[in-house]
């Protein structure tokens, strides 16, 4: 009797293994096999340092919204209304540049059919032929609204803004919606400190664009070397505060002063700093830099 029981159990086991239908247990194990193979892989990252902060002291800033995050781990060390919808102003141009990088070749050129003359401009001239690369410099360094709109010209403004919103969604910028490539005020256009930190990280991870945003001053021209544009970075902290690099300024009456910055500490750690609707974005960022140096340290995981 015992022998028959064993044989029956073996038979049913074989039928289960070779049954052509759906075996939930088998498929569950197969789908999650990476959970087992990845266990050892995580050991290699166990000693990556993560930031810790002094919670007794917060940076005293005027910004309505702020986000300070370690670039490598994307671990925040301070946040203030980080997901509140704010007007991005020209910080929107980070996404403008990322979209332009995705859809154009840097050495391709545009002959300008029209030129925007609203707000901060680099001085483009109607009929001028200029490279995408130089328009990217105009957009990111000089914060030229005319340059940002020129980047949209080849595919049309509506299509370009649609791609900006697609890019934002792809980057998980769920607090964000764009209405124009320059960040000109529109009540329907908004972002958040958290989302702009995501945009900043993505831009920094692009060596080509990262080089552009760290440029303090440059002179560019049209393709015929007849029209020249001197571009000066509007981020006053570049060259003033050791370790401070790009990324992007922004200002409208409605948005207040905005600034997204990269800060590299003396020991090589990098932070993305976002301040929005500040009374003094540069002083707020200086305060944050000093706060990081005095109140943030790193420990191994």
pLDDT, one tens digit per residue, over 28-53 is 232 232 222 233 333 333 467 889 89
For residue 94, pLDDT over 70 is answered with: yes
CA–chain centroid gap for 140, Å, is 13
**Does the residue 10 lie in any domain?**
no
CA 295 to chain centre: 25
Range of the domain at 159: 52-300
3-state secondary structure (DSSP) of residue 11: helix
User: Is 30 exposed, middle or buried (CB count within 10 Å of its CB: 0-12, 13-18, 19+)?
Assistant: exposed
Rounded Cα distance, 299 and 301, in Å: 6
Q: Assess if residue 31 is contained within a domain.
A: no
What pTM value is reported for the model? 0.83
3-state secondary structure of 150: helix
Give the model's confidence band at 301: pLDDT under 50 very low, under 70 low, under 90 confident, else very high: confident
In angstroms, rounded to a whole number, what is the distance separating the alpha carbons of residues 111 and 139?
Answer: 17
Cα–Cα distance, 250 to 143 (Å, whole number): 8
SS3 253: coil
141 within domain boundaries: yes
Q: What pLDDT, on the 0 to 100 scale, is given for residue 214?
A: 92
Highest mean pLDDT among 2-16, 38-52, 143-157: 143-157
* Count of structural domains within the chain: 1
Structural domain includes residue 119: yes
Q: What CATH code is carried by the domain that includes residue 244?
A: 3.40.710.10
- Indicate whether 5 belongs to any domain: no
Whether 6 is covered by a domain: the verdict is no
The better pLDDT of the pair 92, 6 is held by 92
- Residues acting as catalytic residues: 90, 93, 143
């Amino acid at each position: 009797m015992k022998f028959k029981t064993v044989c029956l159990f073996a038979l049913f086991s074989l039928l289960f293994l070779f049954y052509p239908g759906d075996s939930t247990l088998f498929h569950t194990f197969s789908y999650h096999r990476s959970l087992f193979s990845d266990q050892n892989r995580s050991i290699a990252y166990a000693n990556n340092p993560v930031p810790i902060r002094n919670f007794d002291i917060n940076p005293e800033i005027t910004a309505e919204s702020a986000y300070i995050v370690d670039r490598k781990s994307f671990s925040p060390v301070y946040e203030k209304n980080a997901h509140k919808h704010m007007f991005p102003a020209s910080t929107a141009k980070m996404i403008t540049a990322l979209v332009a990088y995705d859809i154009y070749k840097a050495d391709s050129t545009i002959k300008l059919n029209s030129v925007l003359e609203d707000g901060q401009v680099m001085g483009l001239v109607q009929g001028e032929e200029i490279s995408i690369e130089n328009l990217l410099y105009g957009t990111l360094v000089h914060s030229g609204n005319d340059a940002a709109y020129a980047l949209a010209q080849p595919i049309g403004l509506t299509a370009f803004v649609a791609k900006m919103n697609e890019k934002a969604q792809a980057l998980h910028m769920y607090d964000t919606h764009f209405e124009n490539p320059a960040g000109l005020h529109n009540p329907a256009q908004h972002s958040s400190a958290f989302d702009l930190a995501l945009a900043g990280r993505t831009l920094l991870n692009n060596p080509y664009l990262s080089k552009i945003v760290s440029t303090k001053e440059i002179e560019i021209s049209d393709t015929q070397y007849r029209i020249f544009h001197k571009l000066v970075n509007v981020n006053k902290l570049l060259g003033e505060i050791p370790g401070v690099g790009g990324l992007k300024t922004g200002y409208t009456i409605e948005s207040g002063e905005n600034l997204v910055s990269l800060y590299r500490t003396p020991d090589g750690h990098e932070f993305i700093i976002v301040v929005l609707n500040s009374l003094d974005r540069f002083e707020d960022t200086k305060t944050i830099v000093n706060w990081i140096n005095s109140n943030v340290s790193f420990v191994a995981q």
